[in-house]
Amino acid sequence: MSTKRRGGRSRPTTSGTPRSHSYRQLQHPFTPQAIFSEDGVARIHEMALRVVQDLGIKILLPEARQIFEAAGALVDHDTQIVRIGSDLVEAALATTPTSYRLRGRSVLRDQMFKDGSMLFAPGAGCPNVTDLVRGRRAGSLETYEETIKLQQSFDVMHVFGPSAEPQDVAPALRHYEMMRIQMECGDKPNFVYARGRGQVAQSFEMIQLGNDMGAQAFDDDVWCFTVINTNSPRQLDVPMAEGIIDFARANQLSIITPFCLAGAMAPITISGALVLQHAECLAAITLAQLARPGAPVAYGGFSSNVDMKSGSPAFGTPEHIKLSIGSGQLARHIGLPWRSATGAASNTNDMQAATETNMALWAQLQANATLTVHSAGWLEGGLTFGYEKFINDIEALQTIAELCQTTPEDAESLGWSALSEVEPGGHFFATQHTMDRYKTAFYEPLVSDLRNHGAWRDDGAKSSAERATKIWQNTLRDFKAPHDSTAVADRLAAYIESGKAKGGAAPADG
């Protein structure tokens, strides 16, 4: 209890008032769109219930099967198939929270995870990184730290993500570095990989240490999240099931994310792929609620299509857009906040890369996704995180964030004074109405260059990718860690040293 109070004292007790044009807490500017009728959504939901009840889900973790069995599900331990009655699913949905505060170490970074909120997360899970200076290479401790610093530096990145993990660190020790760097370099909500119980438990302990709080304070709030990818179709592996259980028991957020590629791991139709996605989500959400009723667990979808020429996953396609909008309808049908994703299959910083990500981004706006993952930096369908792509995507996200500002429609804004002052064919540059507003009226671009062709050419004719190099370099050069970074490092050092000396925690086998 004393630790809880100590944790509380180290933070402001009232929510910070965001400055004007802050991108820190955003609400969706657009009302959600639909691709299905209400009846259609209900039919997809009903068929998903039938999938989990009649076909069942193969669950590789014995403990998870036992949890389901104890609750009344039909379990075949030989085939590992668990058939979950719709009564169980409905009971789980009744206890799943629809709103919770996802906390950062700084209260200014707190996010309400609920319908209507608009959160962005960086491109994540990439084995490689690339930039125009150093080329394409495997992610390392150095680039992990750089990408966390880039994420911390832009307010429109609301939570951390593992853009590329440090592959030069042994798998059993990697989580130490990933948690340490997130907390030393930043104050946003943390991401934890669900790669086995040891790593998860130690990551939770590090968050408590880093944020200077005790177990109860940690349990009272949601301080981190993980992404649970099912093994579509209809399968949940050991670390994923462990992750659901362990996050639920610790009151931390697991985001269920089937990766349903229509035509490959899912039916080829939009509605069919969503039946499967929805079924897998419902089963995983039920497991979380059985592990701890009321645990924060989010609906998720990252369904797209495969390119029928290459067999590769596609992003920003009409199918990806439709699947996103349909996912939003299903999430709202069961009343849960949810995550989606942008993405790009392009192999380089070209118009394809931008178009794929922008199309997918606008899909999430139409879909009112609560959290949009991979929203900056993804290339090659997630195989590479691009520094210059990240900067260009941030421009797009900031453009969207600007739309969340109310547009003034009062008499002063309408500008009769200026309209009556300027002669026909004249200009408004010198009116008082303009002078009063010109410094803050418009979004100031981050990387876009709006100069004319001659000025641009004379300045080296740089593409937006080339210009982005200087921006990420300067961002890293000027990076300032949060004020309490040294204290965080001090609190974590002994724990990590001791953990490393004991060999760390091996990731679980799938």
User: Is residue 448 near a second copy by the rule CB under 8 A?
Assistant: yes
Please check whether residue 114 is in contact with residue 98, taking contact to mean a CB–CB distance below 8 angstroms. yes
How many whole angstroms from its chain centre is CA 234? 23
Give me the helices (H) in 310-462, please. Answer: 318-333, 351-367, 387-403, 411-414, 416-421, 432-435, 453-458
Q: Which of 76, 201, 215, 456 binds a second copy (CB under 8 A)?
A: 456
Are 266 and 272 in contact by the 8 Å Cβ rule? The answer is yes
Considering only 31-39, 178-186, 292-300, 470-478, which stretch makes contact with a second copy by CB under 8 A? 31-39
Residue 426 as a binder of a second copy (CB under 8 A): the answer is yes
CA distances from 398 to 197, 446, 495 (A): 37, 9, 38
Rule CB under 8 A: say whether 460 interacts with a second copy. no
Q: CB–CB of 247/295 below 8 Å? A: yes
Residue with tokens 């001791």: 498
Using CB under 8 A as the binding rule, whether residue 18 contacts a second copy is answered as no
* Distant-in-sequence contacts of 50-54, Cβ < 8 A, 24+ apart: 51/234, 51/275, 51/276, 51/279, 52/83, 52/84, 52/86, 52/89, 52/279, 52/282, 52/283, 52/286, 53/83, 53/84, 53/85, 53/86, 54/83
- Of 60 and 488, nearer to a second copy (C-beta) is 60
The yes or no reply on residue 170 touching a second copy (CB under 8 A) is no
d(CA 445, CA 398): 9
Alpha-carbon span 399 to 442, nearest angstrom: 11
Name the packing angle between helices 197-210 and 174-185 (round to 10°): 20
Q: Which stretch binds a second copy (CB under 8 A): 138-146, 178-186, 212-220, 350-358?
A: 350-358
- Residue choice 347, 469, 476, 485 for contact with a second copy (CB under 8 A): 347
CB nearer to a second copy: pick between 27 and 498: 27
Contact positions with a second copy (CB under 8 A) in 234-253: 234-235
At residue 64, φ and ψ (nearest 5 deg) are -65, -40
Q: What span, in angstroms and rounded, lies between the C-alpha atoms of 451 and 315?
A: 32
CB of 336 to a second copy, least distance (A): 21
Q: Which is nearer to a second copy, 441 or 501 (CB)?
A: 441
User: Which of 55, 74 has the CB closer to a second copy?
Assistant: 55
Contact status: 258 vs a second copy (CB under 8 A): no
Question: Is residue 203 near a second copy by the rule CB under 8 A?
Answer: no
Q: Closer CB to a second copy, residue 2 or residue 425?
A: 425
Please choose, from the candidates 300, 180, 334, 193, the residue with its C-alpha nearest in 3D space to the C-alpha of residue 252.
Answer: 193
- Find the binding residues for a second copy in span 95-154 (CB under 8 A): 136
442 interacts with a second copy by CB under 8 A? yes
Identify which of residues 225 and 378 has a Cβ nearer to a second copy in the complex: 378
Q: Does 356 bind a second copy (CB under 8 A)?
A: yes
Q: Alpha-carbon distance 231 to 424, whole Å?
A: 66
Q: Which of 9, 77, 457, 470 binds a second copy (CB under 8 A)?
A: 457
Choose among 326, 319, 320: nearest CA to 342: 320
Which tokens sit at 476? 């890293």
Residue 16 beta carbon to a second copy: minimum distance, rounded to whole angstroms: 23
Q: Does 321 bind a second copy (CB under 8 A)?
A: yes
Q: Minimum distance between the CB of residue 52 and a second copy, rounded to whole angstroms? A: 11
Task: Name which of 362 and 479 has its Cβ closer to a second copy.
Answer: 362
In this chain, which of 1, 27, 78, 424 binds a second copy, going by CB under 8 A? 424
Cβ distance to a second copy smaller for residue 201 or 308: 308
When binding is defined by CB under 8 A, the residue of 301, 316, 337, 504 that contacts a second copy is 316
The partner residues of 59 in beta bridges, in order of sequence, read 236
The reply on whether position 444 binds a second copy by CB under 8 A is yes
Verify binding: residue 20, a second copy, rule CB under 8 A: no
Which C-beta is closer to a second copy: that of 141 or that of 418?
Answer: 418
Query: Residue 57 and residue 21: Cα distance in Å, rounded?
Result: 46
Beta strands, E only, 33-173: 57-59, 74-76, 81-83, 99-102, 111-114, 119-120, 128-131, 135-138
Is there binding between residue 469 and a second copy (CB under 8 A)?
Answer: no
Subset of 276-315 contacting a second copy (CB under 8 A): 276, 305-310, 312-314
- Separation CA 258–CA 235 (nearest Å): 10
Please tell me whether residue 22 binds a second copy under the rule CB under 8 A. no
445 binds a second copy (CB under 8 A): yes
